[in-house]
Structure 1
């Protein structure tokens, strides 16, 4: 129900990229540009400024973005409340989530869910993908949301949310707003996640697929979380690969910047996983809630 042109603008403004918005919306980049131009003509104002290879919101764009967030929320509440009229639910829902999902995606979801269903208790456990799968198979949790590639014959896997891992540096970095070639990475100081991290293994596989020899990279440090990496980047000239889901706030505040790499993308899909077979009413309710709201 969210106006489609406004949805296109919201996606571009969130991603700060016409290309990434087109990929997320499954439409062409010219189509994205067309929708943005139509809104600009409607309001007789410019919404984005180009700065090198990046874009930024104009003052008019920032105003429209604030209202787009409010309108999206109103539509979301309207659609969900209509479908939930007079439904009363109680119980406890045990959710397991991998780190990125638990830290940057689930808090908003769970807060909104609790606003509707105050009598449903939520227990959230944070572990890596392998552990979440094991907990689910042992019925320690009711459902999981993972970022890794895991397959078990005992579980169902449902695509939940797309994510992209991008190269990031502080906004004042000399190479901010530029485009690198993948081999340029050899000359950069890099910060990686700790050995054994599922996300790090995913990144390394994509680098190797592009012919990068990992041992030749200048990895100056391994840190145990996205938060510690982000804070490190703010005080150094190093770069790191991070989930775009983890840096939305920093992009909006212009403290961190995405550095594009020509012909190199690391895309993944977070997955909702649950045991095969009959689902409880609470699991069905939560999945329906995600469909309507996120």
Structure 2
């Protein structure tokens, strides 16, 4: 049953028998057989088939929900059992870029500490470039960063989806506009992160699709953290591109507002980074902790 559920889970997430077969290293007929056996077991269809396309039925969606919970428990078991047999004492040095260290990593560290109280964690904060350099200089064992840059000696594993949005003070007259155009952007005063920031790199890359160079924007000030940018925004008519993860509280309190920019999509991923090659035991445990917390397969 466990393997059947694994097959179902893979097909449900890929919505493709072919892709599931390739990922699980079994034949497509074997995939079909396992799904058929599950449907016979529960006496209900799990997938609707329309030509080469498949979609989950209501029963399929329900089973996927339960399967997610089952595999989350398995990951928790795996993490806790690994903690018993691997090194349980020592120092784990982690680096995180600014946005991640402020808004993403604290609950991860709390979850990790609850299971491994004798492991001391040293968290270094910096922009993406600084964290990558710290890893290359072996000043940290593992990092979580944002941005587009890729260095050959570093292993990048996508971790969490993020989106950068254009934000302003909720009292700014711009919020009356239903859509922000390319011309509007060139008239605005921006707050930006410093050079070396992964956020700045993503902004620069995304603006290319609008044929806008960073140098064409009016940048009122460069600031070294998202918190300082948010505070400045609340006291000015400037705008800034900020991670959606960083402004949940301000949106709820109606302090900041999101501006919809025409034809601009700034979706990115946060990356877990480590040096190419085998990671150490404590880093492996931290990765398992992340998998357990976020229901991920890394």
Question: Which range, TM-score by smaller chain?
Answer: 0.5 to 0.7
Partner of 1:157: 156
Distance 1:277 1:121 in 2: 24
Unaligned runs of 5+ in 2: 1-57, 59-68
Distance 1:115 1:261 in 2: 42
What is the CA-CA distance between 1:75 and the residue it aligns to? Answer: 9.3
For the pair shown, the structure with the greater C-alpha radius of gyration is 2
Helix, strand or coil: the match of 1:111? helix
Structure 1 residues 259, 76: CA separation in 2 closer, same or farther (over 3 Å shift)?
Answer: farther
Contact 1:183 1:212 in 2 (8 A): no
Structure 1 residues 96, 156: CA separation in 2 closer, same or farther (over 3 Å shift)?
Answer: same
Unaligned runs of 5+ in 1: 1-34, 36-73
Residues 1:192 and 2:183 are matched in the alignment: no
Distance 1:234 1:103 in 2: 19
TM-score, reference length from structure 1: 0.68
Structure 1 residues 228, 80: CA separation in 2 closer, same or farther (over 3 Å shift)?
Answer: same
Helix, strand or coil: the match of 1:153? coil
Partner of 1:47: none
Structure 1 residues 172, 80: CA separation in 2 closer, same or farther (over 3 Å shift)?
Answer: farther
Partner of 1:241: 241
Distance 1:279 1:140 in 2: 14
What is the CA-CA distance between 1:216 and the residue it aligns to? Answer: 4.0
Partner of 2:273: 273
Partner of 2:108: 109
Distance 2:136 2:216 in 1: 40
Contact 1:147 1:270 in 2 (8 A): yes
Deviation track 1:137-187 (CA, whole Å, cap 9, x = no partner) reads 332211111112332332211111111111001222223263212321122
Distance 1:119 1:159 in 2: 28
Partner of 2:120: 121
Deviation track 1:70-128 (CA, whole Å, cap 9, x = no partner) reads xxxx9999665544456433322111111111121111211221122211110111223
Distance 2:278 2:189 in 1: 50
What is the CA-CA distance between 1:273 and the residue it aligns to? Answer: 1.1
TM-score, reference length from structure 2: 0.67
Partner of 1:212: 212
What is the CA-CA distance between 1:238 and the residue it aligns to? Answer: 1.6
Residues 1:203 and 2:200 are matched in the alignment: no
How many residue pairs get aligned? The number is 226
Structure 1 residues 154, 196: CA separation in 2 closer, same or farther (over 3 Å shift)?
Answer: closer
Structure 1 residues 156, 198: CA separation in 2 closer, same or farther (over 3 Å shift)?
Answer: closer
Structure 1 residues 233, 262: CA separation in 2 closer, same or farther (over 3 Å shift)?
Answer: same
Helix, strand or coil: the match of 1:94? strand
Structure 1 residues 191, 140: CA separation in 2 closer, same or farther (over 3 Å shift)?
Answer: closer
Helix, strand or coil: the match of 1:179? coil
Partner of 2:11: none
Contact 2:191 2:238 in 1 (8 A): yes
Helix, strand or coil: the match of 1:212? coil
Shifted more, 174-183 versus 244-253: the winner is 174-183
Deviation track 1:219-259 (CA, whole Å, cap 9, x = no partner) reads 22222221111011111222111111211221222211111
Map 1:141-152 → 2, pairs under 5 A: 141-152=140-151
